[in-house]
Structures are given as C-alpha cells and as structure tokens.
Amino acid sequence: MLVIVDTGCANLASVGFAFERLGVRPVITGDADTISKAERIILPGVGAMPYAMQALKTRGLVEVLRAYTRPLMGICLGMQMLFETSAEGGASGLGLIEGGIDLLDTDGKPAPHMGWNRLDNLADDPILAGISPGDYVYFVHSYAARVRSETIATSRYGQSFSAIVRRGNIYGCQFHPERSGKVGAQILQNFLKVET
C-alpha cells in the first residue's frame, strides 16, 4: 500500500492523482498507525517549513517518519523536511539526512525558482531509470539543498543545487514529479518499483 502523508498542505490531491494516472490508488492519511505500516510513503509539501513541521508534530508523525525504514519520497517541501534544519524560519526538520536547507542564491534572477528546468549529473540509480541528462522537470521553490554526497541529480538556477537526493531508502525530489509530464511520471513509476 502506498500512503501519501497528510501534512495539512494543500497539494495532496494532485500528488494522489499522479499515482492514479499510473494505475495506483494511494491512501492519503495522517494516521500514524497506517503510515508506519505502509509499503511506501510519499511526503508531499508546499508552503513554509516551520508550519509544515508543526503540522507533523501536531499529528504525532515526527517519530513515525524517523522510524520508517521502507521507501519514502519527500516532494518539494517534503524533501526539505528530510533534512536536519532549514534556513526558512530556522526550522528543524526530520533529520533523516544530515545537514541543512539554504536559501537558493538565484544570482539576481527572479525568485522563487519557478518553472521547467533541466536535470543534470545523474547518478546510476534505479529512481533515474529512463531519465536522461537535460530532461526537464517542474520546480517551484525558494530554498534548496546544496550539492552534497546524497545528491543523485542536480539542477542549476543561479547556482547548482540538489534536484534529487537519496540516502538508503529515503528519496527527496526538489521538483514536483506530479507536474513534470512524462519525466515526472517515470520517476514516480520508478519509485513504485524500488525494492522494499
């Protein structure tokens, strides 16, 4: 069973629809027991990190997610929540990946970073099966993880940053695969095939 964690953020429906287009009907829930038993988890998120982390705390989900060992994918703010800290409001994250999220230095370009940008520096990873350097995905964000040892794909807007990170069974996508056309659908399909 695929579970989408109800983070109280407003884009849950579109993430769920993306999996339905792949023929999978996910369960959207904030219930700790259901989440801890899930085969795979999607942690979506839009908005501000302090608010989103507070929503997880209120639902008693911080420890549940920290203890989860099967495949988990954080999307956009959900990816940023995987880290220890964020420059956004000085928030603490789940700490599943070491380090922090920084404000993206756009080098004078308009912010937030919004639109279709290229994936590059792709690692040999099952989540990237069928994906080529230069493929476009859809980003909307102001904060980002710098390129680091967990980075398996980068993108560039003013500076290079982590487009996808992986640590063990924990994946994070800074972009929105649910809104990234065929490329995004392929990544979600790959996530469904990652071995538990």
Partner 1 sequence: MLARRIIPCLDVRGGRVVKGVQFRDHIDVGSILDLALKYRDAGADELVFYDITASVDARTISPDWISKVSHLLDIPFCVAGGINSVQSARARLEAGADKISVNSPALMRPELIDELSAAFGSQCIVVGVDSFEDTDTHTYRVKSHTGAAAATLDTGRFTLDWVQEAVGRGAGEIVLNCMNQDGVRKGYDIAQLKAVREICPVPLIASGGAGTVSHFEDVFKLADVDGALAASVFHKNILPIPSLKADLKAKNIEIRI
178 an active-site residue? yes
Whole-angstrom distance, CA of residue 78 vs CA of residue 193: 20
Does residue 160 belong to the site contacting partner 1 (CB under 8 A)? no
Catalytic residue among 20, 63, 76, 150: 76
Find the DSSP H helices in the chain: 12-21, 32-37, 49-58, 62-67, 77-80, 181-193
User: The tokens 């420890």 sit on which residue?
Assistant: 63
- The first and second tokens of residue 148, run together, are 């680091």
Does residue 17 belong to the site contacting partner 1 (CB under 8 A)? yes
| C-beta of 68 vs 143, nearer to partner 1 | 143
Among 78, 141, 151, 172, binds partner 1 (CB under 8 A): 141
Burial of 124 (0-12, 13-18, 19+ CB in 10 A): exposed
Count interface residues toward partner 1 (CB under 8 A). 37
Which range touches partner 1 (CB under 8 A), out of 26-34, 54-62, 66-74, 175-183? 175-183
Does residue 50 belong to the site contacting partner 1 (CB under 8 A)? no
Peptide bond into 126 cis (omega under 30): no
User: The tokens 């920290």 sit on which residue?
Assistant: 66
9 an active-site residue? no
Does residue 14 belong to the site contacting partner 1 (CB under 8 A)? yes
Among 19, 138, 171, 191, binds partner 1 (CB under 8 A): 138
Distance of closest approach, residue 9 Cβ to partner 1, in angstroms: 8
For residues 52, 48, 10, 1, the Cα torsion angle rounded to the nearest 10 degrees is: -40
- Which residues are known to be catalytic? 76, 176, 178
Which positions lie near partner 1, rule CB under 8 A?
10-14, 17-18, 20-21, 46-48, 109-118, 136, 138, 140-142, 156-157, 176, 178-182, 184-185
